[in-house]
Structure 1
Amino acid sequence: MSIKRYCYACDLKNDSKLIAEYKAYHAAGNAWPEITKSIKDAGIVDMEIYLTGNRMFMIMEVDDTFNPVKKAEMDANNPKVQEWENLMWNYQQELPWAKDGEKWISLEQVFKL
């Protein structure tokens, strides 16, 4: 089985109270179990989110079963995931170059050692 990495960026609203709340939702053990299950069920074997200021970077490691289109369909048909995503929109905002409604933007790799 091979592992592939995907990297994304998204902004939080630039409000220290909202950023603290967002971080609390994502602290160890606080993410809803239905959300972590949906992540794992999609073939994502590891996911990390990093924050600087109000810009976040997500790094996902996925196995051969992962398909981004299938993951989007699974999420769209999962009421609990939709509830979580709607809640997270209270904290997140689109990057200036995002398409309407686009949340996490894929990063282009420009260097690899």
Structure 2
Amino acid sequence: MNRHCFALDLIDDPTLIKEYEDWHQNVWPEIIKSIQDSGITDMQIYRFGNRLFMIMDTTDDFSFERKALSDAANPKVQDWEKLMWKYQQPLPWAEHGEKWLLMKKIFQLKR
């Protein structure tokens, strides 16, 4: 298993933030299937203010490249991403078109 952590901001508007959270209580089944089929075994999103933090656990053979190609070919995923972009805004250091940015792990407490 591998763990990846990402950050993204929401547009800082309480109404839009509430809508975004509501959508994530009823994620389309096609989106859940796409996530699971790609090798993502668990995904969690946390919010503080308008900052999002996503934890993604994946199988050892998970590939970001394969996931991106699969998503690009899936009209339902594209519809979802377009809908979510209404609520999201890139972090200041994101490249054009980038959404979720992969975070660098800087500490781990091992048992």
TM-score (norm 1): 0.95
Q: 4+ residue stretches of structure 1 with deviation over 4 A? A: none
TM-score (norm 2): 0.97
The equivalent residue for 1:58 is 54
Identity among equivalent positions (%) equals 57
Cα distance in 2 for residues equivalent to 1:89 and 1:24: 15
- Residues 29-108 of structure 1 aligned to structure 2 (within 5 Å): 30-108=26-104
Consecutive unaligned residues of structure 2, counting only runs of 5 or more, are none
The equivalent residue for 2:6 is 8
- Aligned Cα RMSD in Å? 0.5
Consecutive unaligned residues of structure 1, counting only runs of 5 or more, are none
User: Aligned residues, how many?
Assistant: 109
The equivalent residue for 1:19 is 17
Q: Which amino acid aligns with 1:7?
A: C
Q: CA deviation at 1:64?
A: 2.1
Q: CA deviation at 1:66?
A: 1.0
Cα distance in 2 for residues equivalent to 1:37 and 1:65: 18
